[in-house]
Structure 1
Amino acid sequence: MAHHTFYRLMLAVIMVTGAYSHPKCNEIDRKKCWCFNAESIDIQCPIMEPQISLTVTKINHKISLQCLGNSSPYIDLEIIPEMDVSESKIFQMSYCYFNNSFMDVLDKFNIKELKTLAFESMALKDNDSNISVSKESFERLGSLESLTMTYSTLSFAEDFLANTPNLLSLTLSRNHILELDFSLKNLSKLKLLDLSGNQINNLPDGIFDDLSNLTVLYFYNNNLTELSRNSLSGLNNLRLLEVSQNKLKDIAEDTFADLHNLVNISLRDNNIRGVPGSLFVQNPLLENIRMDYNKDMILSDYIFSNLTMLRSVALNVNKLKEVPENAFKSCVRLQQINLKNNELATLPEYVFKDLKSLKNLDLSYNKLNSLPNGIFSTLHNLEEINLGKNLLKAVNENLFKYMNNLKKLDLSKNRISLIDLKAFSSLQNSLTSIDLSFNVWNNNYSVPPEYGSLSGTLSPLNDLITLKELNLGHNNLTDIPELYALTNLRKMDLSYNEITNLEVPQFALAISYNYFVDLSHNKIEKLGFRYAEDIATSNSGDAIHYNGERSTVLKIHSNPIVCDCSNYDLTRYNDNQMKNLKTLVEIDQNELYCANDKHRKVIDVHPNHIDCPVLNGCPEVCRCSYKPYYTAIIVDCSKSKLTTYPKFNFTLDQTFNQTYLLLGDNLLTRGPTENETNYSNITNLDLSGNLISAMDWVPSQIKELNLNNNLLTNLDSSFIRKLNSTRIERLHLQGNPWNCDCKTWDLQVYLMDNYKKADDIFCMNSNTELTKLTELCKVSPYLTIMLPIILGIFLCFAIAFAVFYRYQTEIKIYLYAKNLCLWFVTEEELDKDKTYDVFISYANQDEAFIAGHLLPELEHGPHPFKVCVHTRDFIPGEFITEQVVNSVKDSKRTLVVLSNHYVNSNWGKLEFRTAHAEALSEGRTRVIVVIYGDLDETKLDNEFESYIKTNTYVKWGDKYFWNKLRYALPHSKNGFYEKNKKHAKMMLKIDDKFNLIKDPPSPSNTSTPPITLDPSLLESKQIIIDVPAKKIVEGESPLLIKKVY
């Protein structure tokens, strides 16, 4: 069953489609016409010079025929292609006409029944005005319901509408018709008649008698001077009468008496003066009356009374001087009255008494200077009232009383200077827009004591808690009203006032989203931001935002904003340093220029451009300022012909951690010193353009130093070290006569290490950048040759020293064994294993001298020696000879006390010979001879005599005896010689007894001298020494010489 239903539906669609077939381009002879197939079929014929354009729409099968040629107003049917659009109901023809009957055109398209026919611009030329429209023109168009003929110059036959009895709409507008000389009698079905835009000056009586069904009559923009009851007779069902823009002057009171169903009437833009009070008595259904734009109109009392269906009345621009008190009596449904642009000076107190439905009242552009207190008291449903452009001076507390539904109030362009504090109290829950612009109100009120701290918010506007738009432009406000209660406010216009100060924090509270405040064209010089950032930070999480828009937009263009220290926070805001505040408050500064720099936009002023003048502590010849962006003090003493450095001492409320000292272009010849007052904290120092030839000191806190264009030839290493100890970020050195030589090496290194901080410099003698020089010091060719040689020698010495230091003991032993370089071996090293410093050899008879003089002094003197004497230190029971040999061997010196007793002593001779033999075996002088008493030289044998003659000796009784003796005795290199230095001159003739034997000898300060052995001593006498019967230890040399030949 479902399938059968579907097939039936498809068949119906196909049948309908076939019934309303649409022409196709392939059905058109392409040799004669162009054809374009889109949403409509567009055809132009003929091809070469098209004379017609034909469009057939696919939706409603509307045919539009337009003539393109200008040779004749009549269409040439021969060039229209044959096509079948029999179902078309709408035909429109432009810029041409037909010869006889329009049916000739329809036959070309096979149209059988047409409903709508429109002709536009058929005959525009003067020579085409003889075109006549007759009943034959519309032959066989009995089905036509709408006929339009506009923008043409035609003549109409009296019965040209005889063949169109079913017309419902007839439009003959803008055809230059002068009079209605054609008949409308057979148009009993006509509902709309449009005769507007012609030149008709008279309506014949009874012309509309047969139009009993007519509901709309457009007769505006003609030349009617009179309108009577007879001319409108027969229009019993007329609902809209439009006769505006004519030349009507007086209207009889019964003119509209037969129009009982009239709902809308327009008499606007005529010359009507007097309006009878009973003009609309017979029109109880009237809803809209337009009588505006007449001249010097005078309204009669009760003119609109009892029109209970009346909705709107337009009486604007009529030069009305008064409105009768009962003009609107009992108009209970009246919603809109327009009395704009009249000459009303006052209104009756009860003129609006019965208008309980009134919603819109326009009294603007009159001469109202006062209004009765209760004039609006009954208008409980009034939503909008416009009192703008009047002469009102005050608004009392009763004027708007009981107007509980008023939403929009316009009091602009008056002379209001006083508004009662309670004037708007009745509007607090309804008013959303108020316009008080172009008045002289200043919002200043004498504050009662009971208000206390709330005095700043005292304003009649604070009662309007539902207010969304507030216009206070062009008044005398000096301060921005504090309207914290108006949380619904979206727009406030404060432009063109006398406001001098703007505190941004009061707008950072985000009392409303999408809040726009216009403060343009005021006298604002400074914007205050105190606590604004703190408020914004605390409110940033809870601030009201809507669709991503900022809470508040402040428009401040055309204000004398001063771009100086007072507006530093504004520049910080513009520099996006107050991000939280910027999300809450946008300050619109488009086209806002600095008052102190007319060519500079405020938004282009960066915070680092702001300087605050400082006077206290500033040197007399300088200009001082505080730069808050850098928290810095700037001392500008440039171009002041200074020869000495200025002194300054600032005490400011602001904290600053930088000091900029600008001393450029002066006559300074030296750099500053650390003794300059308060210079240690300078961070930026400009010394460019002076005569400075040397720099010795730089402030420890320096960040930028400018030494351009001075007389500097070099910066020494001490100054470079001071620079390196700072945190300098920029150093300017250009324009100086730099010498590039060895002395500039430290500066070159500094520039290369700090190439990002310091400018490169050019050498005066070569005009080359210092950092690009590879040789600052030219090297002598001789130095080039000698330097490797010297370095080689030094390296050899260093290696030799290192080897000697590591193996010095072995080397000394080897040298001594080979009898080489004995000067290199010290006595202290050779005697380091000996037990005694000195062995005293003496005769027993001299023991008293020994015990009384020698021993106490040697053992207990200022420099004690370890002494060996036979009476104390020989071991009892041992062989004397063996002990003598051991005592000589174990002592560094043998001191022989040579006296007459000693010469006669055999043991003395033995001890002498043993000591002498030991000295010979070591090649050192170890025997010290002290002559005691008067020696009898005749008793000396040859051995003693020869030794005394060839060696030095010390004689007891000499005043320098002890000094000479101590000098000959062994002593440490650590101090003995130094302490006896004062006796050195006396000992110069004494042979140094501490030199090693060498051939030739080379004395050393630390070795005993060589022994000079007298040949005669060895020449004729044998020296026989008994050797103890003791085995010689391996590696030990014999101590005694047995025989000498």
Structure 2
Amino acid sequence: MKNMTDTSLITIERLTIYACNYLEIHESDLAAFPSLSTLEIRYGSLGYISPRALCGSISLSFLDFYVDAIADNVTSPYPEAFIGNTCNNDQTLAAGNLHSGETFLPMLQEMSLSNFQFSEPIPENAFQNLLHLQILHLSFISFSSNETFMSLDVLSNLESLQIHHPTSYINLDLFFGNVLPKLQNLKRLWLLETNIKTLSSVRDVFSNNPLIEEISFFWNKLSFIHELTFRNLSNLRSLDLAVNKNLTSLQHDILRGLNNLEELILKDCSLKSLNEVDFSDVTSLKTLSAEKNDITEIPNIFSNFPEQEVVLSRIQTIKLQSNNIKCVKLFTFSNLAHLSEIDLSLNLISSVDDKAFYNLENIESINLAGNRLAVISPKSLFNLQGLYLLDLKDNMLTYFPTFPCNVNSRPGLNGLPSIRVLTDLRRNNLQCDCSMFEFLYHFIAFGFTEGCSLPSLYDREKYWPGVHYLVNQRFHQAELLCNNPRGFFYIEDILNEPSLFLSDISNTSYFSCPRGCRCIRACQESVNIVSCRNQSFTDIPSDLDESTEILLLQNNRIESIPKSSLDIVPNLQYLNLHDNRVNHIEKGSLDQLLDVDLSDNRLTELPRGTMMSLSLKNLNFSKNDISSLYASSFAGLPFLEILDLSHNEITVFPSGLFDNLTKLTSVFIGGNPLNCTCDMLYLSKWYRQASFKPNGTRPDTDFGQIECVPFANGTQLSKWIDDHETSCLSVSEEPVVVTGSNSALVSVLLIIITILTVVFITTLVIYRYHLEFSVMVYARTGFRCFQISREDESSKDFDAFISFSNQDNDFVLNDILPRLENHSPPWKLCIHHRDFAVGESIATNILNAIERSKRTIIILSTQFLESEWCSYEFRAAHSQALRERSQKILLVMFNDVDKSTLDKELKAYISTNTYLRTDDTMFWSKLKYALPEPINSTEESTRSVNTTIV
């Protein structure tokens, strides 16, 4: 204060000294502040304070003195400066403009003394000169004796008294009996942490305090309170009994006469019930806080009906969290026009009855978090016009709740209420099944048509408008998880990929699932799937549900397909019998189907009339032992689109075999010992006749990769077809052998043979290590050896489609995508949850992704092999590669994959094609080299040379 002028000090009204160590206040220090009305000394330590330090502070009205410590050299008792006995002398009177007989600190109205640790307690005369004091707070203070308490009775003008955690014992009976009756102007009494154990002997203790408005016995040891303790305190507005751990019950009439009580705090006690308490007089109550008790039942005081006495009709806030409540019954909370908040979180609630929350027109928040709710009745919340937040997190809910329409709500835009209901459903057991799909897809994606009615497609009861806003706005959608037979998914992801919605219907009453099988419903397509893979079945199950539409029987031991075996499933569309032992198909057994997979079985022939179906579109007979075909084998399949006869024992196709297949778009015959003789002339003529194709193009085939037998020079079937339109080589003719005896000719032949041998060995070495050589050159220079760009790939939308199991998300999202999409230039990749079209079926999305991508990267892991859809993606990609006559597939194999567990199709593929292993030190370089030039790349395609690689 050395730089302050006397004039500036005179006008100062408030002085705060904060965190000052070894503070010293001398007699004249405060005399220079005649206008000082507020003095705050907080924290720090006290070194010295003069007994006359406050004698001249006649304008002081507020004194707050809080110290952390007292200096070691200070041994004085309670400061005389706060008592004022030394101020009544002629010198002080003259300096402070006091007249003889006036009190010490005549303007002081509020004083707060906290955390004193003097050598002696507060003396008995501490308050005798503070007769105008109205507010007194004493925290962590020692009293010299009970007489010190008695000295408080001189404060006749006191309106607020707070005693918090005294450090010495005080006789509260003396206080209640002798001191409190004399404080007739008292309005607020707070006795906090004063070790009060009982008020059993106290009756009408506040009879001389008619003005009292607030009473707090916070954090004591009360175990009993007499029912007359608070009798007829008509001005009492707040009663705080919180944190009295020994308080297990309240007397019946403890609230009698408290007509103006607005706040009742019973937090953190050990109350077991409130039903024994009479609340009939507390009609002005606005807040009831009874959290953290042992209450097992909600008291019947929150329901207001004309035929019963009005109880708590003005209640606004009810806090009953952290109790042992197990249910919310009918009309528990009803017809309370002012109620805005209900907190029932952290209880044991497992059921909420119909109309449990009824006609609460101003309710804003209902908190049911942390309970055991598995379902909420649609009628449990009725006519809640103002509801803003519904907290249901940490329960056991399996579905989004749906509530009745608020018929009295004022409509906002589009006929919906203007208030949005935010519903918190984090950490519940939500199910991504068909019910969830129906709700999210139709109610959230499309919303409501008018008011709170549903789209006309769903003729159901009206729903509460808040359901429209269940896309959570309080937290990120990604925090909401749901699960189904394929694992856990984020709500955000399944909204973008509806195919993830599956329901396990194996144990339901409405669907008969065969023993040993798993039954699932695909929600988007409304298709029932029965999976009986790897069960060692010898026959098709006879107890199939008639609504089965897809039947998966791979890897069993079934030998025949009787017609009667599928009569029980009239709605069946897809049958998969891959890797069984089928050697006989009874006529008419497959007529009702759309798609049949009989690959990897033991069929040897396809007799006439085996299949006569107007619906069959996809037929797979690959990897059988078929050697005999007849001209009419497929005559009854006019709508067949895809036919796979690859890897059989077929040598020739009889004339007329494909004549009736006018809808055929793909045919695969590779892997058969075909004889390119006159007997194959029919195939040549049929292949040239493309008029049955709407766009005039030939069917997709694998002819370009098939070599004829018995020609040793490797004649390709496609070339033979192109060269033999009307004439062909007789099957009896053999290649002509050139001979001679001239020695010169022999020498020439030897030289030629030697040169060819060297060329062959050199070519073999280059072929064996061309991949490593090409990858090293590309990694260092960006130059692509042994690759050419395909002109037909220029129109593709993606460089690669990545096929992977959801369990391999981390590898794809954290490794592959950053390395390839952040490459310069970047590759454009297609992945399921990001690029699949919403609303399309899984199969359509897969086929579109493969068709629109230059390559398909298969992430082959143990989880991939266990997934039906992943296997479907591989087969689709393989078929596409065969149709395009290209090495379209890039196979990436994890090192933990056991090749012996692969199915025959995968084994055959990896035995004839190069694949990449993730534990290869050159894995990333090889992967980047095997990919095509990025779509956005500006590099010239002429930098590549002949020969492709995979």
With normalisation by structure 1, the TM-score equals 0.47
Task: Indicate how the Cα distance of structure 1 residues 173 and 424 shifts in structure 2: closer, same or farther if over 3 A, else same.
Answer: closer
Q: Distance in 2 between matches of 1:593 and 1:226?
A: 76
Task: Indicate how the Cα distance of structure 1 residues 138 and 632 shifts in structure 2: closer, same or farther if over 3 A, else same.
Answer: same
Structure-to-structure mapping, 1:319-398, within 5 angstroms: 319-324=246-251, 327-344=254-271, 351-363=278-290, 366=293
2:114 partner SS: coil
Structure of higher CA gyration radius: 1
Q: Is the contact made by 2:394 and 2:425 (CA closer than 8 Å) also made in structure 1?
A: no
Q: Distance in 1 between matches of 2:274 and 2:407?
A: 44
Q: Distance in 2 between matches of 1:145 and 1:755?
A: 102
Structure 1 residue 121 and structure 2 residue 19: aligned? yes
Q: Distance in 1 between matches of 2:699 and 2:197?
A: 91
Q: How far off its partner does 1:462 sit?
A: 8.6
Q: Distance in 2 between matches of 1:304 and 1:315?
A: 12
Q: How far off its partner does 1:168 sit?
A: 3.0
Q: Is the contact made by 1:255 and 1:279 (CA closer than 8 Å) also made in structure 2?
A: no
Q: Distance in 2 between matches of 1:407 and 1:714?
A: 88
Selected match of 2:219 from 293, 300, 307: 293
Selected match of 1:161 from 54, 57, 64: 54
Structure 1 residue 687 and structure 2 residue 621: aligned? yes
Structure-to-structure mapping, 1:894-1043, within 5 angstroms: none
1:551 partner SS: helix
Q: How far off its partner does 1:611 sit?
A: 4.3
Structure 1 residue 642 and structure 2 residue 582: aligned? yes
How much identity, in percent, do the aligned residues show? 19
Report the equivalent of 1:150: 42
- Structure 1 residue identity aligned to 2:617: T
Report the equivalent of 1:731: 667
Q: Is the contact made by 1:544 and 1:551 (CA closer than 8 Å) also made in structure 2?
A: no
2:81 partner SS: coil
Q: How far off its partner does 1:336 sit?
A: 1.9
Structure 1 residue 240 and structure 2 residue 160: aligned? yes
Q: Is the contact made by 1:563 and 1:594 (CA closer than 8 Å) also made in structure 2?
A: no
2:723 partner SS: coil
Task: Indicate how the Cα distance of structure 1 residues 367 and 530 shifts in structure 2: closer, same or farther if over 3 A, else same.
Answer: closer
Query: Gaps (5+ residues) in structure 2?
Result: 71-75, 85-103, 410-415, 455-462, 473-478, 508-518, 553-569, 728-950
1:981-1037 Cα offsets, whole Å, 9 max, x none, are: xxxxxxxxxxxxxxxxxxxxxxxxxxxxxxxxxxxxxxxxxxxxxxxxxxxxxxxxx
Selected match of 2:63 from 170, 176, 183: 170
Q: Distance in 2 between matches of 1:371 and 1:506?
A: 24
Task: Indicate how the Cα distance of structure 1 residues 209 and 434 shifts in structure 2: closer, same or farther if over 3 A, else same.
Answer: closer
Q: Is the contact made by 1:505 and 1:531 (CA closer than 8 Å) also made in structure 2?
A: no
Selected match of 1:266 from 177, 181, 190: 190
- Structure 2 residue identity aligned to 1:688: S
Structure 1 residue 216 and structure 2 residue 152: aligned? no
Q: Distance in 1 between matches of 2:375 and 2:207?
A: 56
1:491-548 Cα offsets, whole Å, 9 max, x none, are: 7788999999999898999998656596986798975599999999996234369999
Q: How far off its partner does 1:664 sit?
A: 0.4
Q: Distance in 1 between matches of 2:403 and 2:642?
A: 38
Report the equivalent of 1:283: 209
Task: Indicate how the Cα distance of structure 1 residues 343 and 418 shifts in structure 2: closer, same or farther if over 3 A, else same.
Answer: closer
Q: Is the contact made by 1:503 and 1:527 (CA closer than 8 Å) also made in structure 2?
A: no
Task: Indicate how the Cα distance of structure 1 residues 526 and 111 shifts in structure 2: closer, same or farther if over 3 A, else same.
Answer: closer
Aligned residues: 608
Task: Indicate how the Cα distance of structure 1 residues 467 and 121 shifts in structure 2: closer, same or farther if over 3 A, else same.
Answer: closer
Q: Is the contact made by 2:288 and 2:317 (CA closer than 8 Å) also made in structure 1?
A: no
Task: Indicate how the Cα distance of structure 1 residues 219 and 715 shifts in structure 2: closer, same or farther if over 3 A, else same.
Answer: farther
Q: How far off its partner does 1:315 sit?
A: 1.0
1:267 partner SS: strand
Q: Distance in 1 between matches of 2:642 and 2:234?
A: 89
Q: Distance in 1 between matches of 2:47 and 2:125?
A: 22
Task: Indicate how the Cα distance of structure 1 residues 463 and 298 shifts in structure 2: closer, same or farther if over 3 A, else same.
Answer: closer
Task: Indicate how the Cα distance of structure 1 residues 244 and 773 shifts in structure 2: closer, same or farther if over 3 A, else same.
Answer: farther
Q: Distance in 2 between matches of 1:193 and 1:634?
A: 87
- Structure 2 residue identity aligned to 1:168: S
Report the equivalent of 1:666: 601
1:867-902 Cα offsets, whole Å, 9 max, x none, are: xxxxxxxxxxxxxxxxxxxxxxxxxxxxxxxxxxxx
Q: Distance in 1 between matches of 2:128 and 2:344?
A: 55
Q: Is the contact made by 2:551 and 2:575 (CA closer than 8 Å) also made in structure 1?
A: no
Task: Indicate how the Cα distance of structure 1 residues 646 and 664 shifts in structure 2: closer, same or farther if over 3 A, else same.
Answer: farther
Structure-to-structure mapping, 1:150-549, within 5 angstroms: 150-157=42-49, 158-162=51-55, 164-177=57-70, 180-184=78-82, 185=84, 186-199=104-117, 202-223=121-142, 228-247=148-167, 249-251=170-172, 252-253=175-176, 254-275=178-199, 276-318=202-244, 319-324=246-251, 327-344=254-271, 351-363=278-290, 366=293, 404=313, 427=335, 438=347, 459=354, 461=356, 481=377, 483=379, 486-488=382-384, 516=423, 540-543=449-452
Report the equivalent of 1:141: 33
Report the equivalent of 2:549: 626
Task: State the structure with bigger RCO (CA 8 A, min sep 6), 1 or 2.
Answer: 2
With normalisation by structure 2, the TM-score equals 0.51
Q: Is the contact made by 1:204 and 1:231 (CA closer than 8 Å) also made in structure 2?
A: no
- Structure 2 residue identity aligned to 1:199: Q
Q: Is the contact made by 2:531 and 2:551 (CA closer than 8 Å) also made in structure 1?
A: no
Q: How far off its partner does 1:634 sit?
A: 1.8
Q: Distance in 2 between matches of 1:222 and 1:169?
A: 19
Cα RMSD for the two superposed structures: 5.9
Q: Distance in 2 between matches of 1:462 and 1:547?
A: 14
Q: Distance in 1 between matches of 2:447 and 2:574?
A: 35
2:596 partner SS: strand
Task: Indicate how the Cα distance of structure 1 residues 322 and 440 shifts in structure 2: closer, same or farther if over 3 A, else same.
Answer: closer
Q: Distance in 1 between matches of 2:393 and 2:590?
A: 42
Q: Distance in 2 between matches of 1:593 and 1:427?
A: 40
Q: Distance in 1 between matches of 2:725 and 2:272?
A: 107
Q: Distance in 2 between matches of 1:507 and 1:605?
A: 30
Q: Distance in 1 between matches of 2:134 and 2:369?
A: 49
Q: Distance in 1 between matches of 2:521 and 2:80?
A: 76
1:754-786 Cα offsets, whole Å, 9 max, x none, are: 467444531326778766889635999xxxxxx
Q: How far off its partner does 1:483 sit?
A: 1.9
Q: Is the contact made by 1:402 and 1:426 (CA closer than 8 Å) also made in structure 2?
A: no
Q: Is the contact made by 1:266 and 1:290 (CA closer than 8 Å) also made in structure 2?
A: yes
Q: Distance in 2 between matches of 1:640 and 1:462?
A: 59
1:80-139 Cα offsets, whole Å, 9 max, x none, are: xxxxxxxxxxxxxxxxxxxxxx3x24259987743333332222xxxxx4x633224446
Task: Indicate how the Cα distance of structure 1 residues 529 and 189 shifts in structure 2: closer, same or farther if over 3 A, else same.
Answer: closer
Q: How far off its partner does 1:265 sit?
A: 2.2
Structure-to-structure mapping, 1:863-874, within 5 angstroms: none
- Structure 1 residue identity aligned to 2:171: D
